[in-house]
Amino acid sequence: QLQLEESGGGLVQFGGSLRLSCVASGIGMADYAMAWYRQAPGKEREAVSCIDANGRTEYTDSVKGRFTIFRHIWENTVYLHMNNLKREDTAVYYCAAALSSDCPRVFDFWGRGTQVTVSS
């Protein structure tokens, strides 16, 4: 049974930073691509970042230079460090996993999400 549990969301002021965590239970993370998605109210779910089984990373253009995805493989934890947060970053952030050597377009497993709210 694969379970993903996100944490670290909260309320942060414009320009601030947060680090999100996702703990994966029931898998060896080294075999999986891991991703962060987000969904803002009234908008479609959006891929934010992905790290594949080889440690290669991808980012959507709007977060490049501000967000960093990284893993602690032996702790089965993936992180998303977010700097210089903007109001448009406000969303529920979801952790996702796929048994894939590279970052796929479809992820099989999802966490419940953690809310990030950026205020003035």
Using the predicted structure, report yes or no on whether residue 51 has a pLDDT greater than 80: yes
Instruction: Report the pLDDT value the prediction gives residue 35, as an integer from 0 to 100.
Output: 98
Instruction: Report the pLDDT value the prediction gives residue 88, as an integer from 0 to 100.
Output: 96
Tokens standing for 9? 């969301």
- Give the residue-averaged pLDDT of 40-65: 96
Using the predicted structure, report yes or no on whether residue 116 has a pLDDT greater than 80: yes
- Residue 87's SS3 state is helix
Using the predicted structure, report yes or no on whether residue 95 has a pLDDT greater than 90: yes
Instruction: Report the pLDDT value the prediction gives residue 28, as an integer from 0 to 100.
Output: 82
Tokens standing for 87? 């109001």
CA 24 – CA 91 distance, rounded (Å): 21
In sequence order, what are the residues at sequence separation of 6 or more whose Cβ sits closer than 8 angstroms to the Cβ of residue 80?
19, 20, 22, 36, 48, 49, 67, 68, 69, 93
Using the predicted structure, report yes or no on whether residue 104 has a pLDDT greater than 90: yes
Mean pLDDT of the chain: 95
Q: What is the pLDDT of residues 54-79, one digit of tens each?
A: 999 999 999 999 999 999 988 999 99
CA 25 – CA 42 distance, rounded (Å): 31
In sequence order, what are the residues at sequence separation of 6 or more whose Cβ sits closer than 8 angstroms to the Cβ of residue 119?
11, 12, 13, 14, 87
CA 18 – CA 99 distance, rounded (Å): 27
17 φ, ψ (degrees, to nearest 5): -130, 150
